Amino acid sequence: MDKRRLGTSDLWVYPIGVGCMSFTSEENARELIHAALEKGANFFDTADLYGQGLNEEWVGKALKHRRRDVILATKVGNRWEPGKPGWYWGPTKDYILHAVRDSLRRLQTDYIDLYQLHGGTLEDPIDDIIEAFEQLKSEGLIRYYGISSIRPNVIREYVRRSNIVSVMSQYSLLDRRPEESVLDLLQDHNISVIARGPLARGWLSTKGKSGQERFLDYTAPEIRTVRQQLGERMGTDRTLTELAFAYIFAHPAVTVAIPGASRLEQLLENLDSVPTRSLSPEELSCIRSYLKPQQYEAHR
């Protein structure tokens, strides 16, 4: 699959990126990032919150000599004190203008391709936050900005008031909530969706999971039933991982998916599962008949 344009930006991304939060060490990060680059991936997403900046350091070291070849995304808004556990939400303008420089230092770069607000509420100083991002753009420290949110009420405000090019949101076969009120809105405004969690914490990988862990309103036995139904319907045409990606890419708002991976075999399966053909309307209808209708209950 060819690279795809992120919103109205000039950022072109391979459809399956790398969610860096799952990295377990500097060595693990280097191995997976270099393997991803060899497979053609070019979108890497981290955040200053992950490991209190340590994840950014790992990513920065691994990409230091390939910086111009990649689209590098990170996030801001969650604050902590070094050496102390926990964090708190505090996305003020002054903080964002300060935090970006710490991220640049850790990432060993002089610009960030996509800087994202890592959450958001209606009580935030939204205009000040937007001013901060616009100032960073004018200074050349970031190229574009977006938000990472599952709250429709917050997403609507940034669509209306800002120049975001993307919204990162959880979306998968087992989490269809964005279909209700988010995807069409973003498509109408030419804002790209970055789909995180496309494999539902591993439940939608080809191997699947064992145990009794729930996922949203699905019990483990219900997920296994869905997996069986999908497998019987799709036969040998696609692996379940391929189907999971094909499903979210069926909506034109979705530009890139960022599954997490902590092992090389997981990463390679993800990157080898780029859909080679789209799902037909009949296939989509059949797939949805196996799934639960879902909607956001809060923050509507």
Q: Which residues are catalytic?
A: 50
Q: What is the DSSP letter of 235?
A: T
User: What separation in angstroms does the CA of 99 have from each of 18, 79, 133, 292?
Assistant: 23, 9, 12, 40
Which among 22, 65, 68, 27 has a CA at the least distance from the CA of 47? Answer: 22
Give the separation between CA 233 and CA 227, rounded to whole angstroms.
10
Report the phi/psi class of residue 200: left, alpha or beta, with left for phi > 0 and alpha for psi in -120 to 50: left
**Residue 69 tokens, joined:** 């070849």
Residue 63 CA to residue 61 CA, distance in Å, equals 6
CA 17/CA 196 separation, integer angstroms: 10
Tell me phi and psi for residue 241, to 5 degrees.
Answer: -60, -45
The per-residue b/e assignment along 9-30, b for 16 or more CB within 10 angstroms, e otherwise, is bebebbbbbbbbbbbeeeebbb
Read off the tokens for 233: 């319907």
